[in-house]
Homo-oligomer: A and B are copies of this chain.
């Protein structure tokens, strides 16, 4: 009991809300129409707030691409000039009920997933996954990247939107639970999730009024990219955690996020305040031809999956991921087992077969992280540190301890006198 706040009870309440959340796919809309506060000159990005002058290379590359795609500038030079001016408003996705993988850049014209937590009614958003190779989220902005984004706006978004209208909502929590039984941890391994979503949507796509050639291209686009589901698992995780975003006195972490420069966390009992520290370097497997010198520090909102007990927290469900991020299968089990040390609960929905169906470690407790000196584990993609290049690998990373220390201090101040 702290200043009339019982932390234990508050955390129980937060966990109850997270467990009860039921994220579904509601539809696909255009960011300007559906994302709260979105406007023409706004650029949403991953991680805590950041200004142009402090942005890393891949974040700058994605911003340049976003500005060109949105038609606000014609080329790189004028886009950079505009980005540095006051005419562009930068804002974290997390402050607009959304998430974005890697750079996470979104502009007003982009189609976005609309995810709804059926239990509590809150909605979250995310762009549609662009695929692999040269893509905006890893900082590429060449004409092929912009052309693909325009096709996604003109065809991909509308076809999926129409198919979802015919088919009705899709239960994302169930898809994620099934994917964990099929070797995904739905952060860096999404092959099962993508497959299951594809099975759900394909018959309805055939049913839409679009041309056969467009239907076929949409199906091929989805199936050619095993990460397509990532942009669904992320807003699903966000929709679950958002339910607990403001529980007075709770020390449950509701956000872990990186902008490529800073790592930021938010805590239920501290509402919308960010606590940051330097984004760390990722250790893992690099694509041929790249070295550590090519790697940007940790980037993206995708650590929302770990915050919800998925991603690296559920690595024991996805031993095959070590082929992508490095390590051995036994290491995957060790990571999940360690994460039980800093979490408050075991998921009632997400089960890990290899641990005899134990629920995934859910609800990071700030106090446990600090007391036990165990940092959350994250697995993640690695972007090239220069704008315009793209992904160079994938690996494992932790947050800086500094953001947890800062949050603990703020919690003590807010709920004094318990920690004094």
Q: Which residues in A have some Cβ–Cβ distance to B below 8 Å?
A: 178, 181-184, 191-192, 195-196, 198-200, 202-203, 205-207, 212, 215-216, 219-220, 223, 319-320, 323, 328-330, 353-357
Contact = CB atoms under 8 A, between A and B. Distances in A.
Nearest to A329: B356
A213 to B, nearest CB: 9
Q: Which of A220, A223, A353 counts the most chain B CB atoms within 10 A? A: A353
23 contacts: A178-B191, A181-B320, A182-B184, A182-B320, A183-B183, A183-B353, A192-B192, A195-B195, A202-B219, A203-B220, A206-B206, A206-B215, A206-B219, A207-B216, A319-B353, A319-B354, A320-B353, A323-B357, A328-B356, A329-B353, A329-B354, A329-B356, A354-B354
A216 B203 contact: yes
Given A329-B353, A354-B319, A223 B203 contact: yes
A242 B234 CA distance: 46
Given A181-B183, A182-B195, 14 more contacts: A182-B192, A182-B320, A195-B196, A195-B198, A199-B223, A202-B223, A203-B220, A206-B206, A207-B216, A319-B354, A323-B357, A329-B355, A329-B357, A354-B354
A199 to B, nearest CB: 4
Top 10 nearest A-B pairs by Cβ distance?
A: A195-B195, A319-B353, A199-B223, A181-B320, A320-B353, A203-B219, A182-B183, A206-B216, A182-B182, A202-B202
Given A195-B199, A199-B195, A212 B206 contact: yes
A195 B320 CA distance: 18
A154 B183 CA distance: 37
A322 to B, nearest CB: 8
A320 to B, nearest CB: 4
A63 to B, nearest CB: 34
A355 B319 CA distance: 9
Among A203, A207, A219, A356, max chain B CB count under 10 A is at: A203
A212 B207 contact: yes
B198 A202 contact: yes
Nearest to A181: B320
Contacts of A202: 198, 202, 219, 223
Contacts of A206: 205-206, 212, 215-216, 219
Nearest to A195: B195
Contacts of A192: 182-183, 192, 195
Contacts of A353: 183, 319-320, 329
Contacts of A184: 182
A232 B181 CA distance: 22
Contacts of A356: 328-330
Contacts of A329: 353-357
A410 to B, nearest CB: 41
A414 to B, nearest CB: 43
